[in-house]
Amino acid sequence: MKRLLYLLFAFSILSCSKKEEIISPDSIYNVSSVWEKQDGSKISFIDLKGKVIVTTMIFTSCKTACPRLTAEMKKIAKEVGKVDPDNIEYLLISIDPKTDTPEVMKAYLKTHQLDEKEWMFIRSNENDTREIANIMAVKYKEISPIEFSHSNIISVYSKKGTLAYQKEGLDNNIQSTAKEIKKQLEL
């Protein structure tokens, strides 16, 4: 009789526990690399689980496309409006991890008036950077020690880490991107 009670108790506990959510095979949360943030702390993409992620790949010494991409991201954030930082992450990913140290990334955020509660700048090693660039369909090539040629893509990932939307080019047409972010926030 005691065994039966223990067995029933165990089943009741298991049935009440929260079921583990399965991560889709095409989720960015499957990327296991570790990244360094602007404050020097470490993060993996799984740490962003449950947030809408809006991202682009840039490098801080860029004088042409990257400041424009950052400005577009900033306009998109303004169009979306104030959102609980637990629900969204605006993410800049460095394609020049040698130059873009935590101090440099932090200064970049400050220069562009990007609040660290809502914005994150990360870097990793060359292999991890190439892997995430391939996943995000961003092409880049070093053309000199401080210059890169690269795709100009802004991506929106759902709370489940799957690609929901991509915008390519520097056209300042932010409405469709902001609309998709708002849609993803509601899901």
Helix (H) or strand (E) holding 136: none
Kindly report the backbone phi and psi dihedral angles of residue 130, in degrees, each rounded to the nearest multiple of 5, phi listed first: -65, -40
Please calculate the CA angle 168-106-53 and round it to the nearest 5 degrees.
Answer: 40
Residues 6+ apart with CB under 8 A from 17: none
CA distance between the termini of the chain: 47
Helix (H) or strand (E) holding 186: helix 175-186
Residue among 119, 125, 126, 62 nearest 88 (CA): 119
Annotated binding site: 62, 66, 150
C-beta separation of 174 from 79 below 8 A: yes
- Give the three-class secondary structure for 16: helix
Annotated binding site for Cu cation: 62, 66, 150
Q: For residues 95 and 15, what is the distance between their CA atoms, to the nearest angstrom?
A: 46
